[in-house]
Amino acid sequence: MWRVCLGESNQFDKEAIYHVNNKWGLQGYTTFQLSRIDNQLMLDALDTVYNDMLKSKKK
């Protein structure tokens, strides 16, 4: 489970990438159905989250 900003208009398959359906989801935690998404999309998401974490730790 990762925190990902999907924005108001989730351009991805809403059954493949979606916010967790509880208070964690309100904080941005996101579920990825790995069988429904492309490997590159998952790698891009992990790269984005990793880089965002690095930026926030530098502050």
d(CA 43, CA 3): 14
What confidence tens digit (pLDDT) does each residue in 11-27 have?
778 888 888 899 988 88
Task: Evaluate if residue 57 carries a pLDDT over 90.
Answer: no
Q: Give the DSSP letter of residue 21.
A: S
Euclidean distance between the first and final Cα of the chain, in Å? 24
Closest C-alpha among 9, 37, 5 to residue 19? 5
Count CA atoms closer than 13 A to 30's CA, side-chain side: 22
d(CA 36, CA 54): 28
What confidence tens digit (pLDDT) does each residue in 30-54 have?
889 999 998 998 898 889 889 988 8
